[in-house]
Amino acid sequence: MSEAKNEASELMPLLCVGTGYEPHNFHYCIDAYEDPEGDWDDCPYCGLKPKVWTFDNGRSTACGCWESKYDHFSIHAESIMSVHKRTDGKKMTEYDSDELRTNWNHWCKTGEVIFKHAGIRNDGRW
């Protein structure tokens, strides 16, 4: 490797292979994210427990793997409004209020993303 390439690679931030974001030892996300209740695993890359944001049309996490306040790694779960629309409001028992924690802990242990964000889904869930 040339000396110039070596110097450039040393200056570039180390990105997490599992998240695509640089790991930090603190959260940097909008104030809507809150500390969750329950047993949440630490991110295997930054070592932080996630903050969570639950809103009508989504649920997501934010840990210390981020590029900016608005661009960070996130695990998602189906929203309550998605379940309502998908079942025409007749099977709201399909809404799992613990799904985000389950998905996060599963990703921490396996690296597998169970629920993809609506922007990359094609089944109508969001």
Q: What ranges do the domains of the chain cover?
A: 14-115
Confidence (pLDDT) at 66? 93
- pTM here? 0.80
E-strand ranges in 1-126 read 51-55, 58-62, 66-68, 71-72, 76-77
Tens digits of per-residue pLDDT, 71-117? 999 999 998 988 999 899 999 999 999 999 999 999 999 999 998 76
Confidence (pLDDT) at 20? 86
Amino acid letter, 58: G
Q: What angle do CA 100, 102, 108 make, to 5 degrees?
A: 100
